Every structure is written in C-alpha cells, then in structure tokens.
Amino acid sequence: MALLSVAPLHKPFTTSGHHPSSTTMPTLPVCTPRKTVTPSIIMCLTAAVSDAAATRRIANHHSNLWADDFIHSLSTHYEAPSYRERAERLIKEVKEMFTEIEDGLSITPLSDLLSRLSMVDSIERLGIDRHFKMEIESALDYVHSYWTEKGIGCGRESGVTDLNSTALGLRTLRLHGYPVSSSVLEQFKAEKGQFATSSIQTDQGEIRTIFNLFRASLVAFPNEKVMEQAQIFSTIYLKEYLEKIPLSSLSRQIEYVMEYGWHTTLPRLEARHYMDVFGYNEMPWMSYVNIEKLLELAKLEFNIFHSIQQRELKHISRWWKDSGFSQMNFVRHRHVEYYTLASCFAIDPEHSAFRVSFAKMCHLVTVLDDIYDTFGTMEELQLFTAAVKRWDPSATDSLPEYMKRVYTVLYETVNEMAQVAKKTQGRDTINYARHAWEAYLDSYMKEAEWISTGCLPTFEEYYENGKISFGYRISMLQPTLSMDIPFPHHILQEIDYPSRFSSLAAGILRLKGDTRCYQADSARGEEASCISCYMKENPGLTGEDVVNHIHVMVDDLIKELNWELLKPDCNAPISSKKHGYDICRAVHHGYKYRDGYSVATNEIKDLVMITVLEPVPL
C-alpha cells in the first residue's frame, strides 16, 4: 500500500456542537442599494422585448429539446407480460441465494459477514432492492448483531482485523438507519493520516478495501474527524491508483463513485452504470451466487420500468402542451428533464403520482421563476401574488393575458394534487399547499424588489429568503403527500419547512445553485446572490474565493442533512424523509457541472437519453 500523508481540510466556515450542528453565520448589516439602477439600464443587461405596455427582459434560454410529437412516438415492447413473468421467476431464484447465505455456507465469520454485506450492496447498486426488503433486513440484522456484540464490529477483539468489511458494514448499516459509530475506523488508523489494510490482501483486494473506505466516508455526520481523515486518505490513494492502471471493471466503478459521490448520484443512473461493470470478480468467494441471474434481473427491471417511464412521460408532455406553456417563448421548458430526475430516484413503479407531480411542480416553479425574475413587471407580479392568495378561479379577471393561463394551470394542478393526497393521507391538505405557495411567491416578490431597486441585501437576509424562493418546499410537499406513506401532522412538521431537515436541503440547493447561476443572473440585472452578498461584506475576497467558501459550507450542510435523515428518530422514520432527501440529491445533480436547468443540452440531456429513452441491451 502506498504510504500517504494528508493535510487537514481548510474550513472557512465552522460548525459547533453535537448532532445536529449548525453553520455559524456572521452578524450582517441591513440591506443597502448596491448602486442606482434605472429600469432602462437593467433592460440593457439582457435581451429585451417591448409591447404596448412595458419593456420586458427575457433571458434567451434555449427552447424545449423534446418535441411533443417525438415523445408520443416512443414505443417499447417491455410491457409484454412475458418480461414480467421472467422477472418474477428470477426474483424467486435470487431469494434462494439469500437463503443459501443464511444457511451458513461461508467458512469463516469474516466471509459470512462479507457475503451478506456484499449481496445487499450489489443488489442495491443494481437497483433491484425493492424486491428483497425482508431478505435485506434479515441480512443486516445479522450483521448488526455481530457488530454490537463485539463492541467495535468486525474489529480486533473479535479476531477479525478487516477494514474492508468494517467500511462496507459501516456504510450499509448507517444508510439503513442502524446506530453505528464511525469510531470503528479508529483502530485502522496508522501514522501520517494513513489507514492500514490487511497484510494478506492482494493488490486488488487492497484497492477494493480503500474504495469501500471512500464510499463509507461519504455518508459522514458532523464532527466525525475520522470520516474526514478517511475521505482525504482514500481520495488521494484512489486517484493515484487510477493514474497507474489500465481500464477495468473496478477502475470504472471507482471513477463513477469519485465523480458523483453520494450526494449527486442517482439510483437509476448508478444501476445503469453498474450493469456494465458488474461481473464475476464482484463476489468471488460466493460461488453459489449466480451473477448472470442477478444481472439479467437488473436489466429486465430497468427495461420494464422504462415502459412505465414512457407512459408517464407522454402524460407530462401532453399536460405541458395542453397547458399552453409550449407557446411561452420567454420561459424554460424543462418538464422532460424534471421528470427524468424524479424517475431516477423514485424508481418504485407504484410511485407514479410522485414522479408526475414532481415534474409538474418543478415546471411550474421554473415558469414562475422566469416570470418573477425577468419577464413580469412589478405591477403584474403584485397582481399575480394577490391572485394566488385569493385562490379563486375568478382571480384571473385582474391579470394580464399571459398570466391568466399560468394562474389557471397552477390553480388546477395544485387542487388536483390535493385530491390525490386526500386519498392517500385521508385528510384535506390543500391548506398546506396554499401556505407553501404564498410563502414562495412572497419570497419572489422580495427578490423582484431587490432587482427593481438595485438593492443588494445582506448575506443572511438573501440566504434565508433564498431557501424559500429556490422552490425546494414546493417541489417536495405535494408530490410527497401523493405517496402511500402516512404523513400525519407530527411527521409532516419534521420534513416540511421550516423544519431543520427542510431548511438544510433548501440551503444546500440555494447555495449550490447560486455558484452555478450568479454570473448569468448578474448579466440579466439580478445582482443579488450568495456570492455577491458575501463579497459585499468581505471586500477583500474574489468571486473564486467566495465560491470555494460556499463549497465548503455545502459540504458541512450535507453532513448535517445526512444526520437529519439517518438519526434515530421515532417521530419521523427514514422512509418519511427519504424522498425529500433524494429530491435534494437529484436537483444537486443538475448543478454538478453547470446550471443544468438553464443549459440542458449537455449532461442533463445525456441523463434523459441513458435513463429514460434508451433501454439496456439484454
């Protein structure tokens, strides 16, 4: 193993206390105008169009990439019953593989634990775990009982000194809500920031061990120094490895995980990638696991879900066209992209209402974002905000023509989703939705006022308002209530704004989104952003300095969000928070390389092709 030493991470932002910790904010001054800007000057910062009443700014976003005719021309033969029947037979055979593991065919305690963990890990990465919930629970209960009985898990006191099974166990158990401490990694620490692997491991085994250490380090909580050390060490080690060796199944897995990590990966994208690299070297000690059948089942499930995606996508496209949005050339048309994100993490076929609702909500948010930030006048925005607060079809009487249809579609869509939620939740939830929309549009009005006056608010004021104006709450609330998971009031309070969980998720997306959008927004006359507000209060910093600061802040907030999701909490189980967490991951994915919602012609377009439009070859 390479002898590596590491330096501590520089942290311009700090967190304090134990779980959950909070990012410390400075006391900031009140809002002051950045400069005097007249409306005519603002218009010059971007393209402008004129009508009889006003000169309007437009952002010149590229048009819709997915024509309605093209979407409705899609077809697939994977709806045929024969594919589902074959998948059901394979599910039974994979369950028998679990039984063989439980029957104790492994020779040593280590191989016994590793067999169970590896089976669970592979099934989850292949995207077929929903069929094996009982088997997975049984396997992890067994591992956890061994873990707790020995105090430090698979550690030296049990006679097994193995970093690989410890790291994989820590990651897998933690993600399933088991109370496991990262302190089990302490026993493997060596000098100068290194971690010691087994002396009897092969080079390939050592690399896989460090790979699993890296994967475990990504699911860190606040103030876990050993996890930070593990991530630094494993990152350096794996980068050096990738530079030296030829392309292989393992190297491709490492490249994928190092590229997307945990918080920007998507289960369906990961499954599609893993199918191409999954092979016999994954579990060589488990001869009774039929790799070919696991892989066949994964591909069948991928393609059967592909047929469901096509039906739902046609519904979304028809809704988009019938709504009249297709005629609006000043807004972004990203309904297909938003549906793709939803179908990449909500991969249970039964969650159709969630996927469709998420796509519609996100598209509505985007339309309103373009109206409030660029196209609409202050008077029009005030009228629209008041109309939404009235919540009556007749409120369109006071609106300009282009807003009438937007209001009607918003009103009808929100009410339709409330009816779906009434069936799943057994109560009327329309007031939840109305309050969320009112707060959302109020936050937009505040930003519109900043734009019209040239005011640059304090960082704190902008950030708190921005967590609402980003639209995370809107995209999460009604789609989540459409699922067959119970959300009584006390649980809803744990995930809805202003809960700590919701605030963290919204904060991550606001900060990350601003790092990708602030330059284009500024060119359109939208001066306020996390970057510009922070720079105003820290005049010695460059834009690059502030972006780096915000990246560190986002990393800290992700650790806090991990804790909020996975902490032992009888009031709000993981299942009630997981979709809200995954929305944050999915939207974050769109900001990985650029603002993928304004420029959807690159990575997001590829995501649509790979995960929605193209089946995997059988």
The residues facing 32 across adjacent strands are: 456
pLDDT at 156: 40
Domain 298-613 listed as CATH 1.10.600.10: yes
- pLDDT of 109: 65
Judge whether residue 50 has pLDDT over 60: no
Range from 17-26, 76-85, 128-137, 474-483 carrying the lowest mean pLDDT: 17-26
Least confident piece of the model among 20-34, 251-265, 460-474, 597-611:
20-34
User: Which residues lie closer than 8 Å to 501 by C-beta, 6 or more apart?
Assistant: 494, 495, 561, 564, 565, 572, 577, 580
Omega within 30 of 0 (cis) for the link into 20? yes
Residues 401-420 have pLDDT tens digits of 999 999 999 999 999 999 99
Residue 610 burial (10 A CB sphere; 0-12, 13-18, 19+): middle
Assign domain 84-289 to a CATH class: mainly alpha
In sequence order, the β-bridge partners of residue 16 are: 22
Mean pLDDT of 203-217: 92
Q: Which residues of 56-86 are buried (b: 16+ CB within 10 A; e: fewer)?
A: bbbbebeebebeeeebeebebebeeeebeee
Give the burial class of 476: count Cβ atoms within 10 A of its Cβ; 0-12 exposed, 13-18 middle, 19 or more buried. Answer: buried
pTM exceeding the 0.95 threshold for the entire prediction: no
Give the Cα separation of 170 and 215 in Å (integer): 10
Q: Which of 603, 457, 591 is nearest to 529 (CA)?
A: 457
Residues 107-163 pLDDT 10s: 566 678 888 999 999 999 999 999 999 999 999 999 998 886 443 444 444 445 689
Contacts of residue 51, defined as CB under 8 A and 6 or more positions apart, other chains included, come to none
Domain boundaries, the chain: 84-289, 298-613
Percent of the chain past pLDDT 90, that is, above it, reads: 71
Phi, psi dihedrals of residue 32, rounded to the nearest 5°: -135, 150
The pLDDT, as a whole number, for residue 283 is 58
- Nearest Cα neighbor of 520 from 531, 535, 509 is 531
Identify the pLDDT of residue 192: 76
- Per residue in 116-132, pLDDT (tens digit) is 999 999 999 999 999 99
The answer to which of 46-60, 291-305, 392-406 has the lowest mean pLDDT is 46-60
Lowest mean pLDDT among 36-45, 87-96, 103-112: 36-45
How does residue 617 score in pLDDT terms, banded at 50, 70 and 90? very high
Position 17 scores a pLDDT of 36
Query: Using 50, 70 and 90 to split pLDDT, how confident is the model at 35?
Result: very low
Is the distance from CB of 379 to CB of 371 less than 8 angstroms? no
Answer whether residue 9 shows pLDDT above 60.
Answer: no
- Does pLDDT of 46 surpass 50? no
pLDDT computed for residue 13 by the predictor: 30
For 413, phi and psi rounded to 5 degrees? -65, -45
User: What integer pLDDT is reported at residue 237 of this predicted model?
Assistant: 94
CA distances from 147 to 106, 184, 406 (A): 17, 10, 56
Q: What tens digit of pLDDT does each residue of 483-542 get?
A: 999 999 999 999 999 999 999 999 999 999 999 988 887 777 778 899 999 999 999 999
Question: What pLDDT score was predicted for residue 521?
Answer: 79
Calpha distance 56→370 (Å, rounded): 11
pLDDT value at position 200?
53
H/E run at residue 57: strand 55-58
For residue 372, the 8-state DSSP code is I
CA distance linking residue 298 with residue 618, whole number of Å? 10
